[in-house]
Amino acid sequence: MSLNTEEIKRLKNYGSAFGLKFDKWTMLAIRGATLTEQGTIKQNKNVLNEWNDLFVLIKGNESRAWKGTTDPGKKYSVNPKVSAGAFRILPGLYYYQSGLHDGKDAFVSASPISGLRDSNKDLIWDSNDKVYTDSVGNRFWINIHASYTGKFVDGTSAGCLALFHGWKSSEWIEFRDTLKGEYGKAKFPVLVLESKVLT
C-alpha cells in the first residue's frame, strides 16, 4: 500500500515541525487511521483490540504503508502485565534501533518512551491516567514487531507498536528489511501521532 502525492506532502509538512527531513525512510505511526484505495488517510473510530492504526514509511516522494496497532490488545488491557495498568504510547517523536523481541528480529526503543497507563482499568486512556516515561535503566520495552495473532490484536501487544502481519509474512519482512537496510544498527526516528491532527 502507498499514499498519494498530496497525502505524502501533508505528512511531510506535519513531520517537518519535528525536524524530520524524510531524506531516509522515516516511520510515522498514525493512531486511528485507515488508508483508502485512493491513497488518502481516513480517520476511524480506533476501537480497542482492532488493527486500526497505520504505519507509514516515507522517503522523498516514495511511501509504503501497513496496517498495525499503537495500542495494547484486549488481553493485556484487561489483565495488564504491571499493576499500574496497560501502557499506551503518547504522540511524539521517539527513536528506535534494530534489536530483538521475543528472540526475533525487530526494533527496540533507543530513547525514552512516554505513555499513559490505564490505572483505573476502564479501558480508556485519558487525563484520568498518569503519564509514565521509561529510562535507560528502566525500559518498558515498547518495541516494534510483527503479529502473533490474527483478526484481532489480543495478546500481540501489551503496548508495543505491532504490524497486523505475522513474523514470516512478506509484509513484515518488507517493513523490517526496509528500515534495517536504511539504518543498519543506527537509531532512527518514529513519529507517533493521532489521525485527528491531520483533519
The answer to whether the beta carbons of residues 110 and 179 sit under 8 Å apart is: no
Cell of 122: 476502564
Which is nearest to 87 in space by CA: 157, 147, 189? Answer: 157
The residue segments making up the domain with residue 70 are 5-198
pLDDT along the chain (199 residues), means of 10: 96 98 98 97 97 98 98 96 95 98 97 96 92 92 95 96 97 98 98 94
The three-class DSSP label of residue 26 is: strand
Residue type, 88: R
Strands (DSSP E) found in 87-184: 87-89, 92-101, 104-109, 114-117, 131-133, 144-147, 161-166
Residue found under cell 480497542: 48
| Predicted pLDDT of residue 188 | 98
Question: What is the pLDDT, as a whole number, of residue 1?
Answer: 87
C-alpha–C-alpha distance, residues 123 and 84, integer Å: 13
Instruction: Please tell me whether residue 199 adopts helix, strand or coil conformation.
Output: coil
107: left (phi over 0), alpha (psi -120 to 50) or beta: beta
